[in-house]
Structure 1
Amino acid sequence: MKTLKALVAAGAITASALVAAPAASAATTAELGCPHPRVANRDPGYVTMTGSFNLKAGPYQGSRCATITKVRKGTKLWVHCWVINSYGTPWGYMQIKGTRTWGWMSAANVDYGPGINFAKCPGAEL
């Protein structure tokens, strides 16, 4: 078994690694990848797509979060809950009607149907 002194001498651990660094905040950690907020079915409403847009694995556009599928204009999605991402953009966790496909859609891409109450996802702060 190698000792801590032997690991430092061999360069496997640097002296700076032994100094405790401040813990990263939740926002910093989320910005490094695609966050996956907790979800719950809290909103009884639905939305309708205003165009064809990507359903995402997390509440961010572009390459930060993987695309699950493209959703076509006019498709209905059942809303489960909402978050505001770190850019201040509202995103809903939704299910494509008639499927077992869930993901995140930006509020900018939908028209709101009846019953929308914008209920927050549990721990909705990103």
Structure 2
Amino acid sequence: MSTPSSIRRLVTAAVTLPLVAGGFIALNAQSASADCGSHPAWQNRSSGAGKVISSSPIRTGPYQSCDVVKQVDTSKDLFYHCWVQNSEGHKWTHVRIANTTIEGWMYNGNLNDGGSVAASSQCTA
């Protein structure tokens, strides 16, 4: 038989659990995008160009957690500007879609030639 205090505990748990879980999910979402807070400086230091292997995103920064600027399909030519290695050890190239002003960061693993990787085309601050 349920007592008023055991019912109160069940109701409290039923109300509190979604709030705690929701806060945990929101906290994790903020942590995932924390790397994207600062965007490295870039310069046009490369004459390279390429294409994506398959439809891939250009992002606002060199992390998977950064916002997508544009999804690029395999028909688009990309001009390379320079590259960085992020804190996770992944190389990203700053690109611009040919004949547009759309630019941003592309993970080198998505580029058909591995992206811009020459020491002379590394982005500098």
- Report the TM-score range of the alignment, normalised by the length of the smaller protein: 0.5 to 0.7
Q: 1:46 maps to which residue?
A: 49
Question: Could you tell me the percent identity over the aligned residues?
Answer: 33
Bigger radius of gyration among the two: 2
- TM-score (norm: length of structure 1): 0.65
Contact 2:35 2:63 (C-alpha < 8 Å) held by counterparts: no
Match for residue 36 of structure 1?
39
Structure 2-normalised TM-score? 0.65
Q: Is the 8 A contact 1:48 1:76 kept in 2?
A: yes
Unpaired runs of at least 5, structure 1 = 1-30
Determine which structure has the larger strand proportion and give its number: 1
Amino acid paired to 1:53: S
Residue aligning to 1:82: 83
Where do 4+ consecutive residues of structure 1 move more than 6 Å?
A: none
Secondary structure of 2:118's aligned partner:
coil
Which structure shows the bigger proportion of residues in helix conformation? 2
Distance 1:39 1:72, change over 3 A: same
> Is the 8 Å Cα contact of residues 46 and 116 (structure 1) preserved in structure 2?
no
Tell me the C-alpha RMSD between the 2 structures.
2.0
- Higher RCO (C-alpha 8 Å, min separation 6): 1
Residue 11 of structure 2: aligned partner: none
Which structure 2 segments of 5+ residues have no match? 1-32
